[in-house]
A and B are shown apart, each in its own frame.
Chain A
Amino acid sequence: MSHIIILAVLDGVAYGSLVFLVAVGLTLVFGVMRILNVAHGSFYALGAYAAASLGLGLSALGLSPWLSYPLFVVAAAAVGVVVGGALERFLLQRIYRHEEALQLLVTFAVFMILDNAQRLIWGVQPYFYSEPLRLLGNVAVAGITYTAYQVVFLPLVAIAVLLALRLFLRRTLAGAVIVAVTEDREAATAIGINASRVFLLTFVIGTTLASLGGALAAPTTSILPGMGADMIVLSFAVAATAGLGQIEGAAVAALAIGLGRSFAVFFAPELEVLMPYLIMVLVLLVRPEGLFGKATARKI
Chain B
Amino acid sequence: MKHGGKLAALAAGLGLSLILSAPAMAQQKPAEIKVGITTFTSGAASVFGVPGKQAAEMLAERINKKGGIQGVPLKLYFIDEGAGAETLTAEYRRLVESEKVDVTMAAISSGNCVNLTPLAEDLKVLNLMWDCGTQRIFEEGEHRYNYRTQANATPEMMAALLYLLKTKPDFKTIAVVNQDYAWGRDSWQLFSAALKKLKPDVQVVAELFPKLGAPDFSAEISRLLAARPDVILSTSWGGDLDTLVRQANQRGLFRMSTFVLPLAESSLQRLAGELPDGVIVGARGDHYFLHPEYKDDADFKSFVEEFKQRTGAYPIYPAFHMAQAFAALEAAYDKAAAANGGAFPDKEKVVDAMDGLKFRGYGRPITIRPDNQGLEAQLIGVTRTTGDHPFPIIDDMMIFDAEAIMAPSGGKSLEWIEGLGAGFIETPAKEYKHGK
Contacts and interface: CB of A to CB of B under 8 A. Distances in A.
B213 A273 contact: no
A99 interface: no
Contact of A265 (B41, B223, B270): B223
Given A7-B222, A225-B43, A147 B238 contact: no
Given A133-B250, A138-B250, A145-B252, A124 B46 contact: yes
Contacts of A3: 226
Interface in B219-262: 219-220, 222-223, 225-226, 238-240, 242-243, 246-247, 250-252
Interface string A3-24: 1100110111011001000000
B74 interface: no
A94 B372 CA distance: 57
Contacts of A230: 211, 213-215
Interface string B14-54: 00000000000000000000000000011110110110000
B250 A222 contact: no
B208 interface: yes
B207 interface: yes
B432 interface: no
Interface in B50-84: 50
B225 A144 contact: yes
Contacts of A147: 250-251
B403 interface: no
Contacts of B210: 265, 272-273
A124 B47 contact: yes
B290 interface: no
B50 A124 contact: yes
A79 to B, nearest CB: 18
Contacts of A130: 246, 250, 274
Contacts of A4: 226
Contact of A15 (B41, B180, B211, B216): B216
Q: Which of A10, A222, A224 has the most CB of B within 10 A?
A: A222
Interface residues of B, number: 39
Contacts of A12: 219
A184 B367 CA distance: 73
Contacts of A224: 44, 47, 238-239
B209 interface: yes
Contacts of B226: 3-4, 7, 144
Contacts of A221: 215-216, 239, 243
A261 interface: yes
A182 interface: no
Interface in B124-153: none
Contact of A272 (B209, B222, B239, B274): B209
Q: DSSP majority for the A interface?
A: helix
A240 interface: no
A266 B223 contact: yes
A253 interface: no
A269 interface: yes
B218 interface: yes
B64 to A, nearest CB: 26
B240 A222 contact: yes
A8 B223 CA distance: 9
A110 B43 CA distance: 16
A227 interface: yes
B339 interface: no
A226 to B, nearest CB: 5
A265 B270 CA distance: 28
Contacts of B220: 265
A227 B215 contact: yes
Contacts of B50: 123-124
B180 A273 contact: yes
B219 A8 contact: yes
A95 to B, nearest CB: 26
Nearest to A151: B218
B243 A222 contact: yes
Contacts of A225: 42-44, 46
B209 A15 contact: no
A222 B239 contact: yes
A257 interface: no
B202 interface: no
A4 B313 CA distance: 43
Contact of A150 (B41, B218, B274): B218
B46 A126 contact: no
A229 B180 CA distance: 17
Given A126-B242, A265-B223, A14 B47 contact: no
Contact of B47 (A11, A126, A146, A217): A126
Nearest to B255: A145
A158 B219 CA distance: 19
Given A15-B218, A124-B47, A125-B47, A145 B251 contact: yes
B215 A269 contact: no
A150 B31 CA distance: 60
B239 A269 contact: no
Nearest to A231: B215
Interface in B402-428: none
Contacts of A116: 42
Nearest to B272: A128
Contacts of B343: none
A4 B213 CA distance: 26
Interface string A65-96: 00000000000000000000000000000000
Contacts of B225: 144-145
B216 A220 contact: yes
Given A11-B222, A15-B216, A145-B225, A119 B42 contact: yes
Nearest to B48: A124
B222 A144 contact: yes
B206 interface: yes
A15 B219 contact: yes
A11 B219 contact: yes
Interface in A132-185: 133-134, 138, 144-147, 150
Nearest to A150: B218
Contacts of B240: 222
Contacts of A266: 219, 222-223
Contact of A146 (B208, B251, B313): B251
Given A224-B47, A224-B238, A125 B247 contact: no
B42 A128 contact: no
7 contacts: A15-B218, A126-B239, A145-B225, A150-B218, A217-B215, A226-B42, A269-B206
Given A128-B246, A130-B250, 16 more contacts: A3-B226, A11-B218, A14-B218, A126-B270, A138-B251, A138-B252, A220-B218, A222-B239, A224-B47, A225-B42, A226-B44, A229-B213, A230-B211, A265-B210, A265-B222, A273-B211
